[in-house]
A and B are shown apart, each in its own frame.
Chain A
């Protein structure tokens, strides 16, 4: 049983890292981004180039990976999001799908589908309940929780963070009071790419190699965890990831030999549907567990109009 829990927590750490990035972008822009997995994978290729091909230390490669991810996020905002900024969040979400597709096909074109290796940062590890825990496994959940809490307090406690939250609520009003909207968007899109790169770097030693699109499947876990956590709560995202990781691990133990390949995807879908059913059927209970997301703007006004 200890082994099942441990495996679940390791998986949860990976999901949590992706989920934190997803929720951060969602809170800041109301856009659900589908590009994080590919941003992570692309930055890993950068790390592989720097560390494996050029022979530099792991830390240099990791730094290069995170830097390139942040630059990629900034370029994405500057070249594309900026043009479509008044569009519906749905349209901007499709834009992130475009980025994911482009990165995926560029990876395939440049590196082929043969796996690239990246030496792990640390040797050895701790043995617990029959599993050898590598330092990166332990790091992922810790880093995810730290990132989640850090971002949460940065959003709530700093002026810039509050500006980000306000910009998501009502961009027009925020522009009027002089908040630099363009800079906020640039910071949000570039900063959100960072956790994706960190997530990919911490997963890689567990998987052992990089192939095009390999982080996409893990990113699905991040999306599900973010929804489980209510989509607007950074700490909820981490909790959602733990729930998801443990459920997958327990389901694998119980039904692993029932002849269903890749059982975890079915578990993801079931858990997601259950969570949505819960949000529909038990709004009171769920509102207590998850704080409800801010209501979408409607055309039924509550405030009165100022007479001429």
Chain B
């Protein structure tokens, strides 16, 4: 397959809405053939407006639907695109080409989003919403009214694009440009959602901690999403300015941004088709109402929009697309078909280290894979970990036990970089990683699972295995949007995901959302997610929690396989003593933040201080 070629797109390749293609042909073909256009000029302008809304809706959907970040000032970025086009193409005497204006709109839109998002998106929560409201007011009420930018009270004039020496005077021709742009953006959006970028954004929306554990740099990706969204909004603005010919600040205010929110929520957050359809419906229905009912209805559409927005959020938060998906789900449920019973476990595949990830450092024989020492963590007045340390040798399984509140998970988090300890050092494969963030340690070959399951629950098993390989296919944004240069990576990712899924005996659950699996099955999927990048060290936090004894036995043989067949190293937190005795080569016991015993498991569990830690008193022999 080659890159998306325009003719292929126009021929209605899968994923491109046929309606848009039909409109495009209706707008372009008759004038080309010398016939009268099918659309009157006012209608063409109206449809162009709907295209602008659809593109703006795609931009907000990318940010809110995929990445879960709220912008209440998206039309400010649309406005930036419109004014930028006016300024760039209107530079006196140069008559710069319109395409340059289009490009500048995208760049300026992205740049502004980057600057504004930089401080807001590093923090969790709704800061971006407040900042974007401020942007909405500052842009439409103030900046766009500065004479140098907004062209005074008359507004900024945007000239029509030229082909050779003729200006494209008809609205139908601008509509054609708009539809082509919409189709291209649609295509880029399809590519985005299927790329590592789209997966990273979805997992950020689901759970930022899970995202970080898969190696996603959360702040960076949120900023990337906002910048891309600013670029798309800028392109929409370029089209809007070109269609109407004059741009004033009033057209790009807070009210328009809120109306866009209605479109995206009603269409269904995260649903490309839903939001584009909603954009056309919400833009066009007031005009239809006006022409049927007459002027008396003016203003009622805004009330309808507000009420519909509230009703959708309260009763069907996933919008039109969500309602459709629920209906499909009910039909499938009626036809019967629960996922089949768990199959027996085939052997694990020995996947090499993915080519996109650095090869783990080589260490000398006898050097530990993981070595933490003197680690202390305090939460307020509580000393959770107090000078604890441990070492794990290559090709062994080390277990960490201890009563509740002993600080095992906290020590784990300090070792993986999920939290920064107050004191202590962590060496991984002979390298001091104490000051590295969690995702950097993950990239060096440290895989981990969580006590509470760290998976994107709404996504399928297969999706999770792909998300888990975020660091394994380091292609960039351009590749993600065009699929140029990402295909080989994606093929490799999919092969690895398939091999791991089959190796764990989960092939039949490929398309089952993780949240529907039993607790024990989710644990196995989580281990699969850690294994799929073939890490040097696997850190498992209570893998047998919530498992039946039979499932725990199965787990034990999986762990032994990972050690003996694949030659990997494992550190696990475990309460299940039979499992520990069956698998571990070395046992550490923690109590009150300190390591109180370590050594050969069978011998350690019998030591009086260990018994005392668990039972709280001396047991006479």
Contacts and interface: CB of A to CB of B under 8 A. Distances in A.
Q: Do A and B come from one complex?
A: yes
Interface of A: 32, 34, 79-81, 83-84, 87-95, 97-106, 108-109, 216-217, 220, 223-224, 227, 231, 259-263, 265-266, 268-269, 272-273, 276-277, 279-280, 293, 296, 298-307
Contact of A304 (B305, B313, B409, B454): B409
A84 B452 contact: no
A81 B310 CA distance: 9
8 contacts: A95-B313, A99-B306, A105-B302, A109-B303, A220-B134, A227-B127, A265-B137, A302-B384
A299 B209 contact: yes
The 9 A-B residue pairs with the shortest CB-CB distance, nearest first, are A102-B306, A105-B302, A101-B306, A98-B310, A276-B119, A98-B309, A304-B404, A83-B314, A269-B134
A279 B262 CA distance: 32
Contacts of A88: 68
Contacts of A216: 254
B137 A276 contact: no
A227 to B, nearest CB: 5
Contacts of B406: 304
Nearest to B382: A302
Contacts of A98: 262, 306-307, 309-310, 313
B542 A97 contact: no
Interface in B556-582: 575
B43 interface: no
Given A97-B309, A100-B258, A272-B131, A261 B141 contact: yes
Contacts of B254: 216
A94 B303 contact: no
B21 interface: no
Contacts of A224: 130, 134
A300 B450 contact: yes
Interface stretch (B24-32, B143-151, B463-471): B143-151
B545 interface: yes
Contacts of A97: 72, 258, 261, 309
B120 interface: yes
A102 B307 contact: yes
Contact of B130 (A81, A95, A272): A272
Contacts of A106: 303, 306
B245 to A, nearest CB: 23
A32 B134 contact: no
A268 B134 contact: yes
A228 to B, nearest CB: 10
Contacts of B409: 301-302, 304
A83 B133 CA distance: 27
B208 A280 contact: no
A94 B265 contact: yes
Nearest to A224: B134
B70 A94 contact: yes
A101 B137 contact: no
Contact of B379 (A104, A301, A302): A302
A105 B261 CA distance: 15
A102 B299 CA distance: 11
A126 to B, nearest CB: 32
B302 A223 contact: no
A11 to B, nearest CB: 15
A91 B264 CA distance: 12
Contacts of B119: 273, 276-277, 279-280
Contact of A280 (B122, B126, B131, B315): B122
Contacts of B452: 299, 301
Given A102-B307, A109-B303, A304-B409, A90 B142 contact: no
A272 B134 contact: yes
B146 A94 contact: no
B343 interface: no
Interface string B301-328: 0110111011001110100000000000
